[in-house]
Structure 1
C-alpha cells in the first residue's frame, strides 16, 4: 500500500521540495512506515529516504525543479537507478528493466509491461512519465498550478492539500509525458477496468476523488444501503473515525436514528490495518479511538466500521463502549466480508488471519462481543458505487489479473 507523488516545474527557478513534502503528508494515510523524496536540480538528484512517515522527513537540503515522493509500507522506493528515479503503487515485474526501457522508448516499454501498478518516473535528463496500467486497479491523478507546475498523485488529496487544482484522472492504460515545454497523453493499452474496492471503502481519504467517485459521497450512499439492508432498533449511530463517519451519516439519514460523535483521536492518524508491529496495532486502536462516555452510556448503539480484517480493532472498540455503559452494541460493516489476501499490494493478511474467512457470523459476533453483526452485500456495494467495474478479489477470491 502506498501513495506516490510527482511535481514538475516548467521553469527551473522553482524549488519543489516543500510541495512534495506537504503533498506526501496528504497521502500518508496510504502507508507511512517508509517514505522518501528525491528532487532533480542543476546539480543532479538530491534524496531524503527514511524508515519514517513523511511528516518526519528532514527536507532542508532538498533542491530541485522536479521530484518524486513515496509513502508506503514497503522499503525500496523511491527507486534511484542509472536512468532516473521512480515511485510505484502496486506490483510491477522487473521494475529496473522497465525503467531502462521507459528511458529509451516510453510507449514501447509500457506496452510490454507486466503487473498491476501506477508509476511515476523522473528521468535524469529531466522528463517525467506517469502511467496507470490497463486494469486501473491503482489510481493516478493529475493536476497543477496553472502553467507553472504539473502534479501527479495517487489521490487528489496530494494535489489539493498544497493548493493545486485537480485536472483529471489518468485512464487505465494511459501514459502522461511531461517535459519542460509540454504535457501530452497516450493511451498505451485498453482493457475492462477493475477499480480497487478497498481503495474506495477504506484506503482513500474522505475528501478525495478517485476512480471517478467523490469518496465522501459514495461512502454516504453505502451507509444508506446498509440502512436499507439492515435496520436496527437503536438509540444512536456511531462511525469509527475517520473513514466510517460518512457511512454513519448515511445510515442516520436513512433511518432517522441520531448520529453521535463517539470517539476522540489522540495525536497523529494511526491506521492499524497498516501497522506491522502488534503492540502498535493494540495501542494504536486506543490512541485513535478513545470513546466519549455520554454518547453511549445507557444506549443501544449501532457501530459502523469500514471493514473487518482480524477483528482486533472492533473487539477493543466494543469492549470500550460496553465498559462505558452501552446497553447493546450492533456492528455494521460497510463492505462485504474480507476472505482472501491481495496480490496487488494492498496490505490484507493471509486468509488464515482473516476472521470472516474462518468463523461464522455468530462466532464473529461472539468473539468481538457484539449483540449482532452484519456486512454490506455485494449488490448493495454495486448500487452505492453505481457500476460493477470493481476488483473484488479479497471478497470473492476471483482476481481480474495475474501478476
Structure 2
C-alpha cells in the first residue's frame, strides 16, 4: 500500500517542498515504512527516509517548483531515472527505466502498455507532470489545486486538503492527466472497468476522505447500519476501534438504539497495525493506539466493532484489555466480510495460511480472541452498501485482473 502525491507550480518562483512534505503526512495512513520526496528546479533533488513522512527533516536548500512524494512499504520509491522521477501506488511490471523513457517520449502508448494494477505520478526531466490510473481503477487518484497557482495529484483527498488545496475531482479509471506550464488536459487512454478496492473503502482511506466517488465517513456509517440489520445483539454499549471503525460503531448505534461511547484513547503514535513492518509492533501497536477507557466498559455488555480481522492478534489484545477493565461481555462485529486470501495488488493482506478467518471456524476464532461471539459483514451486505463494482479478491479468491 502507498500514498503518492505530485505538486506542480505554474510559476517557477514557488518552492513546493513543504507542500509535498505535509501532503505526505496527510497520506501516511496508506503506509509509513518508507517515505521520500523529489523536487525539480534546475535538476532533481531527493530526500528519502526509512520511516514515516513526519520523521523527514527538510534541509534548508531543498527547493523546487514541482515534485512528487511517496509514503508506503516500497524502499525503491521515489525512483529517479534519466527521464524523470516516478512514484507508484500498486504493482507494475517491467523495467522502470524503460517505463520512464516511454512516459517521457510516448506517454499514452506507454500507459496503455504497462502491465499491473496501479496509480502513478511521473514528473519528467523537462517539467511535465503525468498522473494515471490503470483501467481497472483498483487504486485511487485525485486531482486538486491551490488557487490558480498549484496543481496537486494525490492518492486521497487528504493529501490535497491538509495543505490548503481544493479537491477538484477523481481521475477516472483508464484516464491520464497531463500538466505543464500552460494547461491541464485529460485523456481517456483505456476503457474504464471500475473494480474499486473494497479494503480501501473499509479500512485504508482516512475517514475524512473522498475516494472512489464516495465520502468515507458516510460510507462506513452505512456499513455499521448494515451490520445492525444483519446481526442485532443485546448489549449496553457500542464502541469502535479508532479511527477507521468509529463510523461503523456510530452507524450500528443509530440503527439499534444501543448507546455509542468512546471506548479508547490514544497513547503515543497513531500506529496502524495492518501496516506495521514487524511482529513486535503489530502486537504492541494495539497498546500504543488503543488504551481502553475503564468507565465506559466496566460491568457492561460491550459490542466492539472493528474494520477487519487479519491474524486476530490485535483483536485478541483488545478484547483482553476490555476484559481486564471489567467488561461483562464482549461481542465482536467486523465491518468487512472474512479475509481469506492474499492481495496480489499491494494491499497488506498476507497469505491464506496467516489469515485467521481462512483457517478457523467462527466459534474457534471467538475462543482464540476471548470474545463471547463474533460476526462478519456478509458479502451481500457489502454489495448492498458499496455496489458490485468492487475488487473483493481477498474475500472471495476471485481477482479482476491477473498480473
Alignment TM-score > 0.5, same fold:
yes
Contact 2:82-2:97 within 8 A present in 1 as well: no
Looking at structure 2, the residues matched to 103 and 332 of structure 1 have their Cα atoms a distance apart, in angstroms, of 49
Q: Cα offset for 1:96?
A: 2.6
Looking at structure 1, the residues matched to 348 and 97 of structure 2 have their Cα atoms a distance apart, in angstroms, of 23
109-118 vs 149-158, which moves further: 109-118
Q: Cα offset for 1:191?
A: 3.6
1:342-379: CA deviation from partner (whole Å, max 9, x where unpaired) = 00010111110000000000000000000000000111
Residue 197 of structure 2 corresponds to residue 196 of structure 1: yes
Looking at structure 1, the residues matched to 286 and 97 of structure 2 have their Cα atoms a distance apart, in angstroms, of 38
Contact 2:9-2:151 within 8 A present in 1 as well: yes
93-102 vs 226-235, which moves further: 93-102
Residue 391 of structure 2 corresponds to residue 395 of structure 1: no
- 2:324 — aligned with what? 323
Please give the residue correspondences for 1:195-344 in structure 2 after superposition, counting only pairs within 5 Å: 195-344=196-345
Q: Cα offset for 1:71?
A: 0.1
Contact 2:177-2:187 within 8 A present in 1 as well: yes
Q: Cα offset for 1:283?
A: 1.1
- 1:349 — aligned with what? 350
Q: Cα offset for 1:98?
A: 1.5
Please give the residue correspondences for 1:5-20 in structure 2 after superposition, counting only pairs within 5 Å: 5-20=5-20
Please give the residue correspondences for 1:58-73 in structure 2 after superposition, counting only pairs within 5 Å: 58-60=57-59, 61-73=61-73
262-271 vs 367-376, which moves further: 262-271
Residue 47 of structure 2 corresponds to residue 74 of structure 1: no
Please give the residue correspondences for 1:21-40 in structure 2 after superposition, counting only pairs within 5 Å: 21-40=21-40
Looking at structure 2, the residues matched to 255 and 96 of structure 1 have their Cα atoms a distance apart, in angstroms, of 56
Looking at structure 2, the residues matched to 138 and 368 of structure 1 have their Cα atoms a distance apart, in angstroms, of 32
1:189-228: CA deviation from partner (whole Å, max 9, x where unpaired) = 0142100001000000000000010000000000000000
1:36-83: CA deviation from partner (whole Å, max 9, x where unpaired) = 010001x31111011111001111232000000000011100011000
Looking at structure 2, the residues matched to 33 and 25 of structure 1 have their Cα atoms a distance apart, in angstroms, of 13
Residue 59 of structure 2 corresponds to residue 48 of structure 1: no
Please give the residue correspondences for 1:69-148 in structure 2 after superposition, counting only pairs within 5 Å: 69-94=69-94, 95-148=96-149
SS at match of 1:59: coil
1:232-258: CA deviation from partner (whole Å, max 9, x where unpaired) = 000000000000000000000000000
Q: Cα offset for 1:146?
A: 1.9
Looking at structure 1, the residues matched to 376 and 179 of structure 2 have their Cα atoms a distance apart, in angstroms, of 44
Looking at structure 2, the residues matched to 290 and 172 of structure 1 have their Cα atoms a distance apart, in angstroms, of 40
- 1:57 — aligned with what? 56
Q: Cα offset for 1:162?
A: 0.6
SS at match of 1:273: helix
Q: Cα offset for 1:268?
A: 2.1
Contact 2:172-2:192 within 8 A present in 1 as well: no
Looking at structure 2, the residues matched to 209 and 108 of structure 1 have their Cα atoms a distance apart, in angstroms, of 30
| Unmatched segments (≥5 aa) in structure 1 | none
Q: Cα offset for 1:143?
A: 0.1
Looking at structure 2, the residues matched to 39 and 84 of structure 1 have their Cα atoms a distance apart, in angstroms, of 11
1:18-47: CA deviation from partner (whole Å, max 9, x where unpaired) = 000000000001000100010001x31111
Contact 2:88-2:118 within 8 A present in 1 as well: yes
Looking at structure 2, the residues matched to 65 and 219 of structure 1 have their Cα atoms a distance apart, in angstroms, of 38
Q: Stretches of 4+ moved more than 4 A in 1?
A: none
Looking at structure 2, the residues matched to 299 and 134 of structure 1 have their Cα atoms a distance apart, in angstroms, of 49
Looking at structure 1, the residues matched to 269 and 319 of structure 2 have their Cα atoms a distance apart, in angstroms, of 22
| Unmatched segments (≥5 aa) in structure 2 | none
Looking at structure 2, the residues matched to 96 and 324 of structure 1 have their Cα atoms a distance apart, in angstroms, of 56
